[in-house]
Amino acid sequence: MGKKKLLNTKSIDVILHRLACQLVENHYDFKNTVLIGLQPRGVFLAARLTKILEADYLVKNIQLGALDITFYRDDFRRNEKPLEASSTSMDVAIESKKVVLVDDVLFTGRSIRAALTAIQAYGRPSQIELLVLIDRRFSRDLPIQPTYRGRQVDAINNEKVIVNWQENSSEDAVYLIDK
Amino acid sequence: MSELSVNHLLGIKYLNKQDIDLIFKTADHFKEVINRPIKKVPSLRDVTIANLFFENSTRTKLSFELAQKRLSADVINFSSAQSSVKKGETLIDTVNNILSMKVDMLVMRHPNPGAGVFLSKHVNACIINAGDGAHEHPTQALLDSYSIREKLGEVVGKNVVIVGDILHSRVALSNIFALQLQGANVMVCGPKTLIPKHIEKLGVKVETNLKKALNWCDVANMLRVQNERMAISYFPSTREYTQQFGLNKTLLNSLDKEITVMHPGPINRGVEITSDVADSNQAIILNQVENGVAIRMAVIYLLASKIKQ
C-alpha cells in the first residue's frame, strides 16, 4: 500500500486563503449567504474557511450549517454494512439564500447529488454553489462540477484521497493512498 | 460501522446493549429529521412493508405507519377484522400470501405470545414485533428507555418502577429487559394478584405499597389497567385500585424528590393516573409518543439495511 503526500500544511493554508478570497469576491459581506459543510469531513473545511474569513477578511456573522446526507444516499442496501449517519445542525434559514456546499473531496458526485436533495428539506435557496478542496478529475458518475476547487487531482479508481485536518488527526495534509 | 446483531426485532430479550445504543444513536438523527420543515427522507424508497394487526391498536399502528412513510417505504395495512383470517386461513398462509406480493418486511401485532418468533421460523421476511399477547412489545420499551435517557441524561443507575398490571403487560416485560440491559434498577408495583409469581427471578424488586415504591424511584411508568384482558376480577373494584395504586397530585407532591412520570397509553384518566398528573410537567407521556416515531424509524432503517437485495 503506497502513500503519497499531495499537499502539506503550508500549501493547504495557501489554498484555503485563495478559496476564501474567491468566496469574498462572489459573496462580499455574506449577509445573504449560508455555508454548509457536508458531514462528516466537509464540516472541518467549512469551519476553517469561516475562521479565515472572519480573521483575515473581516467578514462578520457568517451563517454556518452542517448537513448529513446519509439518508439521501443512493447506495442504501447496496453495501455490506448499514450506512452510519452523522448529526445535522441546520440552525440557519436557507430560504432564498445563496448556499455554498462545502466538502473535502469531490469524487463520483453522488454525495453532492444527495446533498442537493437533502437541502430541499430545509427550504428553497436562491442559488447553490459547490466548494471542494480536492477535485478528482475523470471520476464523475454524474454531471456535477465544483464552483470553487482547491486542487485538481488525477487519481485512478483504486486510489483513495484522504484529507486530514488538525481537528481530527495530528496535521493538515492530503494523501493519495494506493490500496 | 456496527450493525444490529439480529435480523428481526422479536423482543428485547434477543438484543444486546450495543444494539440498543445503535438504535438510540440512529433515533437521535431521525428525531432531527422529523423536526425539519420537510419530515421525510428517501432511504427506504425500494422497501415495501406490511403492517399486520391481528389485535386493535391506534397509537402503535399510526406510529409505525408514520415512521415507514417518513422513510419513504411503501406501506400496506392489514387488520384481521376485515380479512380472510375470519374465514379460517392460518397465520402462515396469510403471511405467505402477503409476501408473494413482494413485501420485504412485516410489522405484526398478535394476541398470542410468541407469534412473531413462530413466524420468523416459517416465513422469509424481516419481522418486527409490535406486541404479541402478554409477551413483549419491544419498540415501546425502546422508546420508554429513550425518553428516560432524553429526560434524565442516562439510563444507567436510575431507579424505575413499573406500576400496575404486570401480569398481562407486554410493556412491563420488554421494559424490564431493556432497562436491565442498560444498567437501571427495576421495581414492579401493583396488587399481588397482578404481579406474576417468581418475577423476582428476573432480578426486579417487588413492592405492593405505591408510596414506598415512588419514594424509591426516579421514574414511574404507570401501566394501563387492561380491563379487556381480565376475564376474572383481579381486584375488588376500579375505585379500590385507584385508591391503592392510582397516582394523583397529592401523592406526587408528598414525595421526597421530583420524579418523572411515564405512561404507555392509552390513559384511563382517573384510574391509574389523574388528569392533573398526566398533564403536569413531570409527565413525559407526549414526549414518549414523539420519540416513538423516531425509535421506530431507527429500528426499521437498521433492519431494512440488513435485507439482501
Q: Which residue has the higher pLDDT, B56 or A49?
A: A49
Facing B3 at nearest CB: one of A82, A120, A122: A82
User: pLDDT category, B230, cuts 50, 70, 90?
Assistant: low
**Higher-confidence residue: A116 or A85?**
A116
Cβ-defined contact of A78 to B46 (cutoff 8 Å): no
Could you name the CATH architecture of B138-288? 3-Layer(aba) Sandwich (3.40)
**What's the rounded mean pLDDT across residues A97-119?**
95
How many Å is the maximal CA-CA distance in chain A? 47
**Rounded distance between C-alpha atoms, residue B302 and residue A176, angstroms:** 33
Q: How many CA atoms lie within 13 A of B117 on its CB side?
A: 13
Contact A114, A72 (CB under 8 A): yes
Return the pLDDT at A178: 85
pLDDT of residue B231: 63
Chain A residues whose beta carbon lies within 8 Å of the beta carbon of residue B28 = 87
Give the C-alpha separation, A170 to A99, whole Å. Answer: 30
Residue of chain B minimizing CA distance to A82: B305
Which of B304, B263, B265, B302 is CA-nearest to residue B30? B302
- What are the pLDDT digits (tens) for A119-136? 988 999 999 999 999 999
At residue A21 the predicted structure's pLDDT band, cuts being 50, 70 and 90, is: very high
Report the DSSP pairing between strands B219-222 and B159-163: parallel
pLDDT tens-digit readout, B181-225: 999 999 999 999 999 999 999 999 999 999 999 999 999 999 988
Q: Any idea which fold A2-73+87-178 has?
A: Rossmann fold (3.40.50)
Residue A27, C-alpha cell as written in the block: 459573496
Q: pLDDT tens, B139-159?
A: 999 999 999 999 999 999 999
A96 touches chain B (CB under 8 A): no
Question: Residue B305: its chain A contacts at CB < 8 A?
Answer: 76-77, 81-83
Across chain A, mean pLDDT equals: 91
| The pLDDT of residue A126 | 95
Among B76-85, B93-102, B114-123, B129-138, whose mean pLDDT is lowest?
B76-85
Predicted pLDDT of residue B82: 66
Rounded percentage of chain B residues whose pLDDT exceeds 90: 80
Whether the full predicted model's pTM is greater than 0.95, yes or no, is: no
Task: Verify whether the Cβ–Cβ distance A121 to B46 is below 8 Å.
Answer: no
ipTM: 0.82
Q: Is the pLDDT of residue B1 over 60?
A: no
Q: Is the pLDDT of residue B85 over 90?
A: no
Which residue of A lies nearest to B22 if distances are taken between CA atoms? A84
pLDDT above 80 (res B308) = no
Cell of B50: 406490511
Across the interface, whether the CB atoms of A82 and B1 are under 8 A apart is answered yes
Least Cα distance to B274 among B238, B249, B253, B251 occurs for B249
- A77 in contact with chain B, both atoms CB, cutoff 8 A: yes
- Whether residue A83 and residue B305 make contact (CB cut-off 8 A), yes or no, is yes
**Which chain B residue is nearest to residue A118, measuring alpha carbons?**
B41
Give me the residue label for grid cell 442504501: A76
Lowest mean pLDDT across A100-104, B90-94, B127-131, B209-213 = B90-94
- CB-based contact A72 B41, cutoff 8 Å: yes
Q: Give B12-136+289-304's CATH code, choosing from 3.30.470.10, 3.90.1150.10, 3.40.50.720, 3.40.50.1370.
A: 3.40.50.1370
Whether the upstream peptide bond of residue B138 has omega within 30° of 0, thus cis, is no
- pLDDT of res. A1: 67
Please classify residue A3 by burial: count the beta carbons closer than 10 Å to its beta carbon, then call 0-12 exposed, 13-18 middle and 19+ buried.
exposed
Q: B-chain residues within 8 Å CB-CB of A91?
A: none
Check if the beta carbon of residue B104 is closer than 8 Å to that of residue B49.
yes
pLDDT at res. B78: 86
Of A31-40, A149-158, B2-11, give the lowest mean pLDDT range.
A149-158
Residue B40 to residue A70, Cβ atoms within 8 A: no
Instruction: Give the per-residue pLDDT at A32.
Output: 93
Is residue A172 predicted with pLDDT exceeding 70? Answer: yes
Percent of chain B predicted with pLDDT > 70: 96
Q: What are phi and psi of B202, to 5 degrees?
A: -80, -5
| Coil, strand or helix at A145 | coil
Domain with CATH 3.40.50.1370 in chain B: 12-136+289-304, 138-288
* Stretch (H or E) spanning A149: strand A148-153
Burial of A69 from C-beta contacts in 10 A (0-12 / 13-18 / 19+): buried
Judge whether A150 and A130 are in contact, CB under 8 Å.
no
Tell whether A55 is within 8 A of chain B (Cβ). Answer: no
Q: Chain B contact for A44, CB < 8 A?
A: no
pLDDT grade, residue B84 (50/70/90)?
low
Question: What is each CA distance from B287 to A97, A107, B65, in whole angstroms?
Answer: 33, 41, 18
CB-based contact, A87 to chain B, within 8 Å: yes
